[in-house]
């Protein structure tokens, strides 16, 4: 399990290098082994951070060559890293509250602006959630589905904000899906399958009101299963 302390250590190292100019776009970064030795933490924890930053588009890998800093807007990357550092000790309910605001806020635009590529991608994610019983596969499909709904809104700023949340989702969702697969009622896998299919059906139909309603129902289910007030 990746600790918030280890996560902060890795992020802070990147921030130092960004601010000092030691890192520039498309520069090769420390290997997992090198950074683990420098920071005195397990290599597995560095690997998890690198995976989260790759999802955010901050890092990218080249087979046989190593891991590199994104060639995008370095200032934007630095801001994302900084925000992640400030909130590295997140709670499930905090992340869920932010997701609720961003996802429901973009629901109307997502239903209106979605493309055929968006629909096909979302259907593939929903199909994976319907058939898989592997918590990691479910985590990846779940995260990708929700991120694509936000992206479909066509609002670049909203999408950028959600990418911060995606980093947290990859850390939280695996534990959640493991519980869903193992426990059964009241955490029912069938409920989540049906809810994700409903989200896809709503966006496929271009029905923003239905998408909003289904998102609210989904978040209410998550709150209930975690014993949170709704």
| Cα–Cα dist 132/181, whole Å | 10
In a domain, 181, yes or no: yes
- At 118 the pLDDT is 97
Residue with tokens 């807007």: 73
- At 149 the pLDDT is 97
In a domain, 168, yes or no: yes
Paired residues of 68 in beta bridges: 28, 60
| Cα–Cα dist 52/67, whole Å | 13
Residues 75 and 155 in one domain: no
In a domain, 130, yes or no: yes
- At 2 the pLDDT is 47
Given a contact cutoff of 8 angstroms between Cβ atoms, the answer to whether 149 and 196 are in contact is: no
Residues 77 and 148 in one domain: no
| Cα–Cα dist 79/120, whole Å | 32
Residues 218 and 123 in one domain: yes
- At 146 the pLDDT is 96
What range defines the domain where residue 167 resides? 90-225
Paired residues of 61 in beta bridges: 67
Given a contact cutoff of 8 angstroms between Cβ atoms, the answer to whether 25 and 74 are in contact is: yes
| Cα–Cα dist 92/95, whole Å | 5
| Cα–Cα dist 210/208, whole Å | 5
- At 186 the pLDDT is 59
- At 212 the pLDDT is 97
Stretches in the chain below the pLDDT threshold 70: 1-5, 56, 72-90, 167, 184-187, 227-230
- At 202 the pLDDT is 98
Angle, CA 166 vertex, CA 43 and CA 115 arms, to 5°: 135
Given a contact cutoff of 8 angstroms between Cβ atoms, the answer to whether 49 and 10 are in contact is: yes
Question: Where among 85, 110, 125 does a domain terminate?
Answer: 85
- At 207 the pLDDT is 98
pTM of the model: 0.66
- At 1 the pLDDT is 43
Residues 76 and 104 in one domain: no
């Amino acid at each position: 399990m990746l600790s918030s302390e280890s996560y902060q250590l890795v992020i802070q190292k990147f921030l130092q290098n960004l601010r000092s100019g030691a890192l520039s776009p498309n520069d090769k970064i420390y290997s997992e082994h090198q950074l683990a030795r420098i920071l005195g933490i397990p290599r597995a924890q560095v690997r998890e951070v690198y995976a989260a930053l790759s999802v955010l588009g901050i890092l990218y890998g080249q087979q046989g060559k190593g891991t590199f800093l994104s060639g995008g807007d370095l200032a934007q990357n630095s801001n994302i890293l900084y925000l992640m550092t400030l909130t590295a000790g997140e709670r499930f309910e905090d992340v869920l509250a932010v997701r609720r605001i961003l996802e429901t806020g973009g629901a109307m635009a997502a239903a209106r602006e979605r493309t055929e590529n968006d629909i096909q991608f979302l259907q593939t994610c929903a199909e994976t959630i319907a058939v898989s019983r592997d918590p990691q596969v479910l985590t990846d499909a779940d995260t990708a589905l929700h991120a694509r709904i936000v992206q479909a809104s066509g609002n670049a700023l909203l999408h950028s904000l959600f990418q911060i949340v995606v980093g947290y989702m990859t850390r939280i969702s695996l534990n959640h899906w493991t519980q869903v697969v193992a426990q059964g009622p009241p955490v029912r896998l069938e409920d989540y399958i049906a809810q994700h299919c409903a989200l896809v059906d709503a966006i496929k139909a271009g029905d923003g009101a239905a998408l909003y309603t289904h998102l609210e129902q989904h978040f209410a289910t998550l709150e209930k299963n975690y014993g949170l007030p709704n």
